[in-house]
Amino acid sequence: MLLASIMEVCLKYHTDYLTWTGFWLYRPINNQEVEEKEFEAEATTIVFHYHSSRKMEGAVRVQILSQAGISEVPSQYIQPPENRLTPISNILTSLSCSNVPAIDLSHEKESVIADIREACREWGAFHVINHGVPTKLMDDLRRVCLSFFNDFPMEDKLKYACQPNSAASQGYGSRMLVSSQNDTVLDWRDYFDHHTLPLSRRNPSFWPHFPPEYRTLVADYSDEMIVLARRLLRLISESLGLRASCIEDAVGEFYQNITASYYPPCPQPELTLGLQSHSDMGSITLLIQDDVGGLQVLKDGEWLTVQPLPDAILVLLADQTEIITNGKYRSSVHRAVTNASKARLSVACFHDPAKEVRVSPASDLVSQSSPPHYSSIVYGDYVSSWYSKGPEGKRNLDALLLDT
């Protein structure tokens, strides 16, 4: 409890230079009996980690706040009322029996294509089962990622901290958006981002060396995911009557990132979000989660929880696919909510174009009677705008909409 109060003071004054004097002044006010040595050791560690994580990336690791046992979240994590979970929306979500469709990829191809067409039109998101990715690999990856967050000392994890003030830097972080605006509400999430493809970007020495199998598993998973992503993009192209390679050709060489997200228990889930509402920037995201649940997709104006499905992989259409398909398929707007009792883990695998690729609606989908709905954009410019303005739903993609 005393540590929680100290953390609250740290956060309130938002200082990088909380001195021992501050502690000693604070202690008598709190008037609690704590074994002195124990107090000193614990407080030193927790405040040291708090400040090192802030210095390294400009944001404190959420896990440190969660472990300190604070009873109220710091103001930077409080969402504006319109973004919060209302008790009524919670009840509706849990009563709702709609779930994203699950498509069995082992079925006959024509029926798979028909299911994909329906799911892309209606949801922009669907589960795939019998997808060919070994269940053991998925389980092992979830296990080592969770173990990185849960089982190792903070000072070891901080050796892999993201570069401060650099967008999409690889490593252990908490704050995706590096915009200077102080009004950005922070996500209740820590993450580890890995640059995995093309192979020229893959340098496992930037990834955790603990637990020991971590690096090999991330590399193996990356190799499996690219195969599945290509297969799905071919099926998605065919579901629109396009040649199978149409979306792949428009994307070019795939830039793949794998992000493990860790959402520690949150004392006030009703005020926070694990990850704010957004659609992914690239072409297709493949996501696995644990059995805790907390991912929601926006469908027809309502947030619906994606019930975890063992062994399934969730497919999320991303913004460039919406542009390439000229809006026939829309990218999925999604977010992660928090809970008070159990940490949650997800692993998202993003497939993006290279920064210099110009993306525009596929020529086969554009005609005089079906004009382009989006202006073309160089992907790097799209990414810069996403990071500087923030995702806020689909604001960046909407900026490309043409008046047709």
Residues at the contact surface with ligand AKG, assessed by CB under 6 A = 259, 261, 275, 280, 287, 289, 295, 334, 336, 346, 348
Which is nearer to ligand AKG, 22 or 393 (by Cβ)? 393
Q: What is the DSSP letter of 329?
A: S
Q: What is the largest CA-CA distance in the chain?
A: 78
Is beta strand 275-278 parallel, antiparallel or unpaired with respect to 334-336? antiparallel
Closest CA to 105 of 91, 97, 96, 115: 115
Contact 162, 172 (CB under 8 A): yes
What Rg do the C-alpha atoms of the chain give, in angstroms? 22
400, two tokens = 């490309």
> Are residues 312 and 368 in contact, defined by beta-carbon separation less than 8 angstroms?
no
Single-letter code of the amino acid located at 78:
I
Minimum separation from the CB atom of position 276 to ligand AKG (A) = 10
Closer residue to ligand AKG in complex, CB, 3/125: 125
Q: Least Å distance between CB 104 and ligand AKG?
A: 22
Considering the complex, state which of residue 46 and residue 287 has its C-beta at the smaller distance from ligand AKG: 287
- Judged by beta carbon, residue 261 or residue 396, the one nearer ligand AKG is 261
* C-beta of residue 45 within 8 angstroms of C-beta of residue 39: no
State the minimum distance, in angstroms, from the CB of residue 221 to ligand AKG. Answer: 15
Of 140 and 280, which CB lies nearer to ligand AKG in the complex structure?
280
- Residue entry with tokens 């309502």: 302
Give least dist CB 260 to ligand AKG, A. Answer: 9
* Closest CB to ligand AKG among residues 57, 238: 57
What does the block give as tokens for 255? 């830039």
Least separation in angstroms between residue 361's CB and ligand AKG is 24
User: Least CB distance from residue 19 to ligand AKG, whole Å?
Assistant: 37
45 residue type, one letter: T
* Beta carbon nearer to ligand AKG, 7 or 297: 297
Smallest gap from residue 49 Cβ to ligand AKG (A) = 23
- For residue 165, what are the CA distances in angstroms to 57, 63, 182, 255, 298? 7, 21, 13, 21, 30
Q: Are 265 and 73 in contact (CB under 8 A)?
A: no
Shortest Cβ 314–ligand AKG spacing (Å):
8
DSSP run (H or E) holding 347: strand 344-352
Cα–Cα distance measured from residue 245 to residue 332, given in angstroms and rounded to the nearest whole number: 22
Q: Considering only CA atoms, which of 260, 332, 337 is closest in space to residue 292?
A: 337
Q: How would you classify residue 96: left for phi > 0, otherwise alpha for psi between -120 and 50, otherwise beta?
A: beta
- The one-letter code for the residue type at 26 is Y
Of 93 and 360, CB closest to ligand AKG? 93
Q: Which is closer to ligand AKG, CB of 5 or CB of 346?
A: 346
> 105-110 long-range contacts, Cβ below 8 Å, gap at least 24?
105/129, 105/130, 105/131, 105/132, 105/231, 106/130, 109/235
* CB of 338 vs ligand AKG, minimal distance in Å: 10
Preceding peptide of 81 cis, ω within 30°: no
CB-based contacts of 47, cutoff 8 Å, min separation 6: 6, 10, 18, 23
For residue 336, the minimal CB distance to ligand AKG (Å) is: 4
Q: Minimum Å distance from CB 275 to ligand AKG?
A: 5
Question: Which residue, 235 or 275, is less far from ligand AKG as judged by CB?
Answer: 275
State which residue, 239 or 276, has the beta carbon closest to ligand AKG: 276
